[in-house]
Amino acid sequence: MFYLNFLTEVHRRLQPRAYLEIGIRHGNSLALARCRTVGIDPAYVITAEIDGDVALNRTTSDEYFSRPDPLSPTGGVPFDLSFIDGLHLFEFALRDFIFAERYSAARGVIIFDDVLPRTVDEAARERHTVQWTGDVFWVLEVLHRYRPDLVVTPLHTQPTGLLAVYGLDPTNTVLTDNFGQILAEFRHADPQPVPAELLDRLSVVSAGRFLDAGLLELLSEAHPDATATDLAADLNELTRRQFGHGFVLSSQ
C-alpha cells in the first residue's frame, strides 16, 4: 500500500480533533487532514491543494516547540495524530517525537515516515542516493529499549515504510532525560548497520493488517481525557492478539 493511501485511511478511521505534521514539503500528506492542523517546515513549497483549517509555520520544530504555547493554534486541543517526516537523521526524528508526544493526547497516534530503507545506501546519514531514508530506522530500537511502555509497529508501506507509535504518555520524560546517552549509543558512522529484518520487510506488519486490527477505532472511541494507564491494557491486548509479541530488532 502506498503511504498516502494508508494515511488517508488513518485520518478517516481515527477522526483526529487536531493534527500535527513535521516536514510539509509539497503538502501532499498535509492535504489529507480534515481537522485543525499545525504544519511545521522551514522550507515548504506547497503544490498540493489545501482545503482545511491549517496553521502553517515556516520554522524548525525546535523553534516552534520552544514557544510559550505550542497548542495555541488548536485552542489547547492536544494532537490526536502526528506525522513526522522532517530531517532524515534519527536524532532529529527522535526529538520531533519527544515534542509531538508531549503535546499529544494519550489516545493519539504518532507516525514516522521512512523507517524501512531498502538498501544500506538509502540509510546513510550522508545522502548520496536519489531516494533517501537516512538513519531514522534507529528510532525503532531506541523506543523499544527506552520506552517499552509504548506500542511500536513498523508498517510495510511503499516506498520506504512507516512506523506507528501509540499508547502515548505525554508526561514521560525518559527520552529527554537520556537524550545524550541515546545519541552516543545510536549515532553511527556510515555505512549504517541496518538490521536484515528491516531490509527484507518480512517481519513487519502489512498496512492492511494494521488497518483491519481495530486499533484506530479503539483509540478514536477512547475518552479525550483518557490517560496512558487507562488505555494500556486494551492496547497491549489487542496488539498482542493481532500482531504477536511485538517487533524487536536483532542485536547491533
The CATH topology of domain 3-243 is Rossmann fold (3.40.50)
pLDDT in tens, 1-56: 999 999 999 999 999 999 999 999 999 999 999 999 999 999 999 999 998 899 99
Query: Per the confidence metrics, is the pTM higher than 0.85?
Result: yes
Q: What CA–CA distance (Å, rounded) separates 164 from 126?
A: 25
Q: Rg (Cα) of the chain, in Å, rounded?
A: 17
Measured between alpha carbons, how far is 203 from 122 in angstroms, rounded to an integer? 20
Q: Cis (ω within 30 of 0) for the bond into 42?
A: no
Residue pLDDT, tens place only, 204-219? 999 999 999 999 999 9
If we measure between CA atoms, which residue out of 232, 238, 236, 242 comes closest to residue 206? 242
Using an 8 Å Cβ cutoff, are 88 and 134 in contact? yes
Domain boundaries, the chain: 3-243
In the predicted model, is pLDDT for residue 248 greater than 50? no
> Each residue of 76-93: pLDDT tens digit?
999 999 999 999 999 999
> Cα separation of 53 and 150, whole Å?
30
- The pLDDT value recorded for residue 250 is 39
193 pLDDT more than 90: yes
